[in-house]
Amino acid sequence: MNLLKFIIQNPIISIVTKLIRPFPKFSFLFNTSFYQNQVNLKFWFFQKVLKIGGNHQAYWPVHPTSQVYDTENILVGVDSYPGIMKGCYIQGKGGIEIGDYTQIAPNVVIVSANHDVYDSRKHIEAKVTIGKYCWLGAGCKIMPGVTLGDFTMVGAGAVVTKSFPEGHCIIGGVPAKQIKELDKEKCIRYELEPKFYGYIAANKFEAYRKKYLKV
């Protein structure tokens, strides 16, 4: 650990950053600084090179304390990185799709499959779909089969067991219920350029999706 600390804190990181700038593979480091979820060299190095945390197969940034499974069944949008914050559990067995610019707080759980109550050896899969511009508050849980429309704000600690496909609302509680309807006219739909799906530039993502993803 002392070696890792030295590497991170040493000025060599700055030198390496300058050396890799010309390479397109690392363009995400220099073109996402204005994203809400910024990706830096240290984050990428921990995840993709040192493989700390076991999330190296994810094509988006994942914190080493978070766990992401079945990444081939997970489709993330621009600046939407499930697990980038600490302590998240993301299980994509039944499929997960998350729209652009959706923010996910620490300790969030998203599961797309659960044990059969009559036979725990079996899993019942159901896709989870989360729209654009959503916010999943700290510690909330999104259960299999749930669909959340654009601009759905999920309160901290909520357990979402049913869908809110119309979106534009604040939900919370156990189980989650609508607390407030949002004024659609006040909801701002912004776009960021250039676009990156995790570590992958938008113009290369479709090819990556066809080759590696099942969603």
The amino acid occupying position 148 is: L
User: In 3D, which of 207, 188, 182, 184 has the Cα closest to residue 197?
Assistant: 207
Active-site entry in 63, 115, 123, 168: 115
Cα→Cα distances 35→109, 126, 134, 180, 200, Å: 23, 30, 15, 28, 14
Rg value, the chain, Cα:
18
Q: What single string gives the DSSP state of each residue in 130-146?
A: E-TT-EE-TT-EE-TT-
How far is residue 79's CA from residue 196's CA, in Å, rounded to a whole number? 7
Place of tokens 């659960």: 114
Q: What are phi and psi of 23, to 5 degrees?
A: -85, 125
In terms of C-beta distances under 8 Å and separation of at least 24 residues, what long-range contacts does 22-25 make, across chains too?
24/201
User: In 3D, which of 162, 183, 182 has the Cα closest to residue 173?
Assistant: 162
136 DSSP β-pair partners:
104, 154
Whether residue 168 lies in the annotated active site: no
CB 41 within 8 A of CB 16: yes
Catalytic residues: 115
